[in-house]
Amino acid sequence: MSMLQELNTIVESAGLPVETGVFSKAAPAEYVVITPISEHFELFVDNTPGMNIEETRLSLFSKWNYIQKKDLLIRMLLSAGFTITERRYIGREDDTGFHHAAIDVAHEYEQEEL
């Protein structure tokens, strides 16, 4: 399973609508957008990469108290083996009323042959 598939499953099972890249539907009062950040190869053997590390940002938007959902997401991500590289409250957007929090995650996958 790819990182994006895994993340989509986790966020959906936390009861939050989620899309990758941009939230194209009319936005509900609470939702998550997944933005891939980077992919890099580590651990080379015989000039071939053995491991792929992927990094992704989850942006949680909520018009209510966002803390419970944020904590739930973090618990689920950790128990699924993700590394949390950053948690940050970005702020409340006065024009839209959304609280915005960012959670950056990383996961290593064994590199399949290209």
Partner 1 sequence: MGKVKIEMPTQWLDTIAGMGNALDAAIPRALEAGGKVVLEKMKSNLRSAIGRGTKYKSRSTGKLAASLGVSPAKLNRENNLDVKVGFSENRGDVSNAMLANLLEYGKHGQTPKPFLKQTKSSSRKPCIEEMQRILKEELNLP
CB atoms within 10 A of CB 3: 21
Query: Is the distance from CB of 79 to CB of 93 less than 8 angstroms?
Result: no
Take residue 105 and report the two structure tokens written for it: 């995650």
Residue 22 interacting with partner 1 (CB under 8 A): yes
Distance of CA 101 to the CA centre of its chain: 11
Residue closest to 60 by CA, chosen among 26, 88, 25, 24 = 88
Site string for partner 1, 58-97 (x = CB under 8 A): -x-x------------------------x-x-x--x--x-
Q: Which one among 17, 52, 57, 76 touches partner 1, defined by CB under 8 A?
A: 57
Query: Is the distance from CB of 48 to CB of 60 less than 8 angstroms?
Result: no
Q: Which one among 37, 43, 67, 78 touches partner 1, defined by CB under 8 A?
A: 37
Q: Which one among 2, 12, 13, 21 touches partner 1, defined by CB under 8 A?
A: 21
- The contact set with partner 1 (CB under 8 A) reads 21-22, 27, 33, 35, 37-38, 40, 55, 57, 59, 61, 86, 88, 90, 93, 96, 98, 100, 102, 104
